Amino acid sequence: MENQEILNFKVEEEFEGKRIDQFLASVYPEFSRSYFQKLIKDGFVLKEENKIKKPSVKVKKGDTYSLIIPPVEEVSIEPENIPLDIYFEDRDIAVIYKPPNMVVHPSPGHTSGTVVNALLYHFKNVSEFGGRERAGIVHRLDKDTAGLMVIAKSEFAHKELQKQFQDRTVEKKYKAIVSGIVKNDYGKIDLPIGRSIYNRKKMGTEATNLRDALTEYWVEKRFEEHNLTIVDIKLHTGRTHQIRVHFSATGHPLLNDRVYGFKKSYLKTEKAKKISEKYNYHALVSYKLGFKHPRNEKYMEFKLNQFPEIFKEINNL
């Protein structure tokens, strides 16, 4: 097991009674449950130095586990006939909607069913400027985050769009459902973000290599009875997990975002708790995307015509 990364973690109360594979997939959503099932069967998950062999083992509050991350394997990336909601397409770019629970590009545990697999099937030409495993991908959304993405079909478009994101000229608007009642109707969260010093799979404000991060928000609706708030968000920077980290740092983790501190106990009503249990993704969507077309420099703006189901149900509370 030399030269392999080992992660140690303790089970919190909210995960009491869950299967070990379910627990791991909740803590590390970037990896699939099937990936953890394989790691468990291969002896890469230990409890007090004893290998866990069955994914069905139930965890208890206070249990301490070690997860050994094996070396990354080569991934074969194949086109797949996965439905794509295409908002726009020409020879240089496409704008698509990524649903929740869909990974953007292949990685260990997610070798198929990704946005990249779908792009390679649906489009005759997709830029491989960033490598085939990131074909067409200029920016990314987390697995659980739904929303609009601009795709580069040509290498020229890829480079030009990349520059716009680096220069922060791309308009990005999000909506999120956060726990608790956000008091101010308007605010800015200006907290640097980096790789968490406690868990390298997470980002945080107590971190290494901190970089500036600015999030602007407006309260859209408060649900006092249920202890939830819907906020409209504008990103001024594009740090990994920025919205999730920022709202967690202010005491308002996103609904269902257990990685960054959400607990079902934050919800005050059974109605809200049932909605939370029904959906296995956090309540965040990129609903507006604006940028200059890389070839003719004409400003283009796209808005979602339909939001994920979790937003509809909370709005109807």
CB-CB contact of 228 with 179 (8 Å): yes
Q: Give the Cα separation of 99 and 144 in Å (integer).
A: 8
Q: Give the Cα separation of 51 and 41 in Å (integer).
A: 9
Tokens (6 digits) for 80 = 């797949």
One DSSP character per residue, 213-257 reads: -EEEEEEEEEETTTTEEEEEEEESS--TTHHHHHHHHTT-PBTT-
Three-class DSSP category at 295:
coil
List the beta bridge partners of residue 218.
Answer: 186, 232
Three-class DSSP category at 116:
helix
Helix 20-27 and helix 33-41, axial crossing angle in degrees, nearest 10 = 130
Residues identified as active-site: 142
